[in-house]
Amino acid sequence: MEPSCCCRGRCCLVVSGRGCAMFCSNCGKPIEDDARFCEFCGTPVLDEGPASYADDVSGRQAGDTVSAQASPSQDVGANQGFRSAMAQGAASRSKGISPQVATVAAVCAVLIIAVAVFAIPRIIEAAGGSSSETASRQQADQQAHQQSDGAQGSATENAVSQQVQVKSGISEYSWADLSNIAAEIERTAKNRDDAVRMAASYNLVKPDGSFTGETKTLQTSMGNADVFIVDVFKDKGSSGRSVAFTFMTSGIFAEHPMNPTDSNSGGWKSSGMRAWLNGEVLQSFPDEMRSGVMAVSKLSNNAGKTTSPASVTETQDSVWLFSWVECLGPIAWNARSNQSYIDTVDNKEGSQYAWFKQQGVAGEQGHASLDRSVAGSSNPGVWWMRSSAPNVATSFGDMGPEVDNGGYASTAEGVVFGFCL
């Protein structure tokens, strides 16, 4: 029979002809409708509120029947189990989810999935794009830095030439200007042709590469000397790289002996002349010019009297005398004699400078381009070579109008020196 009482079967038994009855939660005795206390034990009646028939507090399954009468002998424990069953049923109901809540939850889940499906690829793409953009920016920054570094390098390389204004000739430049031009050539020229073109752009040589012979005055504390360029990019510095300009005095700077005594032992390397030139004479140069003077490699007979070409060795010199072969080119004075070794040794001391080759000097003295005079005199004088005489122990070579090929080492003869910038 379908329950029709006020509690809808939640806490009562339906008894035919009796109506609705409840049972005390403490002693289990029946309680009349609308009673607020159990008449047997005085326990207050709990108002559990309405419930559906489906929520049977005994937890029975569908098809179970309900006893028409409760046993008066049921104990408190049984009733406590009854209350526990009621509480569990209430908890189950409180945990249930309403259809409206379920619908909202489903909609939210769908939205979350949609966002994940459509947004995540775009986030990844954006991240990738961001990474790509970052890489592009980094690459652009690197290129900008490289261009900046290159521009700075170019600016550094061109700084010297920008500082030196082109003049009409060598005499118009200061020594600082010439040193700066020389540094530019040494830094950028790949070969002698490059160096000559750069020198020509400053009017230091002619456009065809030939030499002008124009002089510049070198004012020293020991007196003045006019100097001119005899070659470009020929002599080599201590690093092995060619230096820009080789200069030579156009006159006799002073008169000085090669050695205190008539001995060429040790050749140029051990000579008093070499010590004097690289000491006192070099120190007499003006500061702005001396700072640009380059020590270069010079080949010389550093034995004195010798028959061996191996006696020709290298020294590093800032100021030096010229050798036979540097002025005359290859010589063959003794080719038909039993002293041909003299020519062999002398020809090992370098090679001819372009100025003398341009003037047509070819292995012989007496050419006008070789004449050197003391200041104030028009008469050519005799001037020392650094070449030791291989066949005697007392002399060094010398140059002059008489072509005698040598002088005693202790004689004060003319000094015609060279140096490089």
The CA-CA-CA angle for residues 81, 85, 86, to 5°, reads: 115
Q: In what order do the strands lie in the sheet with 216-220?
A: 216-220, 223-232, 245-249, 417-420, 320-321
DSSP states along 90-113 = HHHHHT---HHHHHHHHHHHHHHH
Segment 327-354, tens digit of pLDDT: 999 999 887 788 899 999 999 999 999 9
Strand 417-420 with 245-249, pairing: antiparallel
Pick the more confident residue, 75 or 185. 185
Q: Under DSSP, is residue 156 helix (H, G, I), strand (E, B) or coil?
A: helix
**What pLDDT is attached to residue 402?**
73
Contact 167, 212 (CB under 8 A): no
- As a whole number of angstroms, the distance between CA 167 and CA 21 comes to 132
Average per-residue pLDDT for the chain: 77
Helix (H) or strand (E) holding 158: helix 99-163
Percent of the chain with pLDDT over 90: 55
pLDDT band at 33 (very low <50, low <70, confident <90, very high): low
| 148 — pLDDT class (breaks 50, 70, 90) | very low
Q: Would you state the pLDDT for residue 83?
A: 38
Q: Can you tell me the distance from the alpha carbon of 128 to that of 315, in angstroms, rounded to the nearest whole number? A: 66
DSSP, collapsed to helix, strand or coil, labels residue 176 as helix
> What average pLDDT does range 385-400 have in this prediction?
96
| CA angle centred on 27, ends 21 and 33, rounded to 5° | 20
Name the packing angle between helices 99-163 and 175-188 (round to 10°). 130
* Angle, helices 175-188/192-201, rounded to nearest 10 degrees: 150
Return the pLDDT at 234.
98
Task: Answer with the residue of higher pLDDT: 59 or 228.
Answer: 228
